[in-house]
Amino acid sequence: MVKQQDLIISQALPGNRNPGTADIVGFGPNGVTIVRNRINPQAELASDAFGANSGWRNDRHIRLVADTTGNGAADLVGFADDGVYIAVNKGNNTFEKPKKVVNDFGFAAGNWTVEDHIRYMADIRHTGRADIVGFGNAGVFVSFNNGDGTFSAAKLVTKEFGNDPWKKSMHLRFLADTTGNGHLDIVGFGAANIYVALNNGDGTFQPSKVVLSNFCYDQGWHVDQHPRFLADLTGDGKVDVIGFGTDGVYVSLNKGDGTFLPPKRVIDNFGLNQGWQSDKHVRLVADITGDGRADVVGFGQNGVYVSINNGDGTFQAQKFVLQQFAYDDTWRVEKHLRFLADMTGNGRADIVGFGTNAVYVGYNDGNGGFAKAVVITSGFGSDTDGWSIDKAVKYAANLYH
């Protein structure tokens, strides 16, 4: 099953950070339903493809949104049994019929599974168009976007980071710009070390190097207990490491060359010892102040808590900001997705929650907190027929620049 963490990671890639206002996108039972932010508050079926009723299943098929044409509009991407299909955005809130672009990266085409294999849509050559990237058994494979609606055959670009010995259940793998040159590098949280393979600029990668010996399985960091992210914490355009550990939040700042300083505990909260559990409490990082630096937001037992970034990788003390979206408010990790996305275009992230029967938004109040959440559209909820988290895929994602 596609999990909250998988969706957060896929949408958090630097290449997918579109400016502007996020829309609601749902791969539901009958196809893809959208709610255009500020354009059309009503849910409408934008494509009859990629739905559960036409054979798409969360336990077999990944579905994403990404700009594959370079025109600033997000397209629909589905990893099917027999390959990858793309439905190009027509620019009028509808999509073209999906076309198969590569005979690989699928459940039957290459034996790619949701349980074992991470797959991204990411612009790894800085062309403005997303390529297909998969972490397979033998290493990392890329199908390059040709710019004309076609893709190259899958190519092995590095024999590292593959599923022997890397395991999705133990080792996180990201694509992120670690040097500030605009190119996405491969970052892997291995058994004992974090490794980085620098992007050569043409979609190939240098041999990996150890950049930090922490935040990994051997140091007690587990995928099912300790969320870890790559985010720009200082505003220098280079990602840093931030992890929610057992006794608090730890940060390793980027030295500027893709290597990292030793970790420091920056918040004495949001950790397992303070009662935060991954099966109950979602923890995310996003810029909620508009200063270009990621802050910490936690959906706790009784409400939403925030720690504001001081600008140097340290954080203010945790504060309670909203009594909604919480476990005591009947929100459940296994039922209700929660995202941080800019819904107003002011550069500050808002809270978007897919609840039991509707989609809620807690708008950023501009003071490091959020206003009381309001319903922006009905449907998409966990109790709505065909829209449970194990059957549907739901995003807050900007469909247009």
| Distance of alpha carbon 32 from alpha carbon 50, whole angstroms | 7
Q: Order of strands across the sheet with 393-397?
A: 40-47, 32-36, 23-27, 393-397
Cα 186 from chain centre = 15
When divided into structural domains, the chain yields a total of 1
Q: Phi, psi at residue 132, to the nearest 5°?
A: -95, 130
Q: How many CA atoms lie within 13 A of 188 on its CB side?
A: 28
Q: Order of strands across the sheet with 140-143?
A: 118-122, 131-135, 140-143, 155-158
The answer to whether residue 7 is domain-embedded is no
C-beta pairs of 270-274 under 8 Å, 24+ apart in sequence: 270/244, 270/296, 270/298, 270/305, 270/307, 270/318, 271/244, 271/245, 271/246, 271/247, 272/225, 272/226, 272/245, 272/246, 272/247, 273/246, 273/247, 273/248, 274/247, 274/248
- State the DSSP code for 206: P
Say if residues 360 and 373 touch (Cβ distance below 8 Å): yes
| Distance of alpha carbon 312 from alpha carbon 315, whole angstroms | 8
> Tens of pLDDT along 69-125?
999 999 999 999 999 999 999 999 999 999 999 999 999 999 999 999 999 999 999
Q: Percentage of residues in the chain with pLDDT exceeding 90?
A: 91
The answer to whether residue 334 is domain-embedded is yes
What's the token pair of residue 208?
């990996």
pLDDT at 318 over 60: yes
pLDDT at 290 over 90: yes
The answer to whether residue 9 is domain-embedded is no
Say if residues 343 and 37 touch (Cβ distance below 8 Å): yes
> Tens of pLDDT along 160-212?
999 989 999 999 999 999 999 999 999 999 999 999 999 999 999 999 999 99
pLDDT of residue 285: 97
pLDDT at 18 over 50: no
The answer to whether residue 105 is domain-embedded is yes
Across 316-328, average pLDDT: 98
The answer to whether residue 66 is domain-embedded is yes
Which range (1-10, 35-44, 330-339) has the least confidence? 1-10
Write the DSSP string, 95-107: BPPPEEEES-SSS
Which range (5-9, 60-64, 132-136) has the least confidence? 5-9
Say if residues 3 and 385 touch (Cβ distance below 8 Å): no
Cβ burial 23-46 (10 Å sphere, 16+ → b, else e): bbbbbbbebbbbbbbeeeeebeeb
Q: Phi, psi at residue 87, to the nearest 5°?
A: -110, 115
pTM confidence score: 0.94
Report the CATH number that the domain containing residue 389 is assigned in CATH. 2.130.10
Strands 358-362 and 194-197: unpaired
Domain encompassing residue 200: 23-397
C-beta pairs of 236-242 under 8 Å, 24+ apart in sequence: 236/180, 237/177, 237/180, 238/177, 238/178, 238/179, 238/180, 239/14, 239/176, 239/177, 239/178, 239/187, 240/313, 241/194, 241/212, 241/215, 242/285, 242/294, 242/296
| Distance of alpha carbon 34 from alpha carbon 47, whole angstroms | 9
pLDDT at 393 over 70: yes
User: What's the CA angle centered on 228, arms 225 and 234, to 5 degrees?
Assistant: 150
> Tens of pLDDT along 328-368?
999 999 999 999 999 999 999 999 999 999 999 999 999 99
The answer to whether residue 247 is domain-embedded is yes
The answer to whether residue 11 is domain-embedded is no
Across 44-58, average pLDDT: 97
The answer to whether residue 15 is domain-embedded is no
